[in-house]
Amino acid sequence: MTTHSISAPGKVILSGEHAVVYGYPALVSAVNMRLTLSLKAKSSKKTTKPILKMPTAEYISAYLKQNYAVNIHSDIPRGSGLGSSAAYAVSLATAYLSLRGKPTKKHINDLAFQLEKSHHGNPSGVDNTACTYGGYLWFRKEHQQIHLMHQLPITKKIQCFLLQSGQPKETTKDMIAYVAEQRKMNPEKYKKIFDKIESITKTWLAYMFDEVSRHTLLEAVRENHRLLSALGVVSPKASALFAEIEKIGGSAKITGAGGKSDGSGMLLIFHDDKEKLTKFAQKKKLKMYPVQLGERG
Ligand code: MEV
């Protein structure tokens, strides 16, 4: 019996997390960690459920399980800011829409966004878009119904690393809600932070097009970290790690929603000396992953 496999990559937000929820741009990249959903048709098909236009993740999962032996394999660490839930939503959406023919990426992305919304409350849509299209993406939510996305025509190799600062106690939904609450209490402060984050996101874009130096980029990454800390999405435990990483010559930031009371998920690190960073991670007994950006969707 044939097995169908569907896979989607994880993602890292290079710049713009949280700000992107409020209509600011984000630059995001797919990474070479993937989630794979395998479906093996059951011999006795029991398609009793109708195919809905806007199903929930639970509905799709139950539908698929009725007709297929479903197996999920993922090498995207969960709850760490790398888009594991978005990669799952994209894979589920692809499997479901493929029951009626070959879906376009837009259809897949639209359904994956619905699934993400029921999971995360008020996501921007950047995660599912990155996991659907892959590569490097410039993303901006203009309106609930209008998401602008531009795939950068770039194959630049950027060496970076991910270091596990600890799984956050808070979910992405919690962190989005936390920032929303804080912003409501102090809109001026949050506007200033988001404006500065936007200018960092633009520095990233300039770097991608070889218009600014790596030194300028790395300074911007450090500033990004300080701004994310000011948003309250970096925990004291992760902050201590950042200070040490900067001391040994690295630049780092959280990637994704972050976390405030324990870990803050994966830290995205840039460092020219891989050996030095590896030794640091070993000394701290922390998991480190070299990561390749610009993975296909
Ligand atoms: C999560 O990966 C990124 C956030 O900006 C939330 C979102 O954009 O949906 C924190």
- Whether 47 has a pLDDT exceeding 80, the answer reads no
Mean pLDDT of the region 139-157? 92
Q: Which residue has the tokens 């992405």?
A: 172
What percentage of residues in the chain have a pLDDT greater than 90? 87
170 within ligand 1 shell (Cβ under 6 A): no
Q: What does the pLDDT look like over 6-40, one tens digit per residue? A: 999 999 999 999 999 999 999 999 999 999 999 99
**Residue 49 confidence (pLDDT) above 90:** no
Residue 195: per-residue pLDDT: 98
Identity of the amino acid at 85: S
CB 262 within 8 A of CB 235: yes
295 lines ligand 1 (CB under 6 A): no
pLDDT band at 2 (very low <50, low <70, confident <90, very high): confident
Q: Ligand 1 pocket test: which of 176, 182, 234 has the largest number of ligand atoms within 8 Å of its C-beta? A: 176
Check pLDDT > 70 for residue 45: no
What is the average pLDDT across 151-174?
93
Q: Classify strands 136-143 and 160-164 as parallel, antiparallel or unpaired.
A: unpaired
Q: How far apart are CA 92 and CA 182, in angstroms?
A: 34
Residue 285 has pLDDT above 70, yes or no: yes
User: How much is the pTM?
Assistant: 0.95
- Residue 173's identity, in one-letter code, is K
- Counting from 1 in the atom list of ligand 1, the atom nearest the Cα of 179 is 10
Residue 121 near residue 173, CB atoms below 8 Å? yes
Mean pLDDT for the chain?
Answer: 95
| pLDDT for res 1 | 59
- Measured in angstroms, how far is the CA atom of residue 19 from the centroid of ligand 1? 8
Structure tokens at 260: 């405030």
Q: Is 264 in the pocket of ligand 1 (CB under 6 A)?
A: no
Q: What is the mean pLDDT of residues 238-265?
A: 97
pLDDT in tens, 178-197: 999 999 999 999 999 999 99
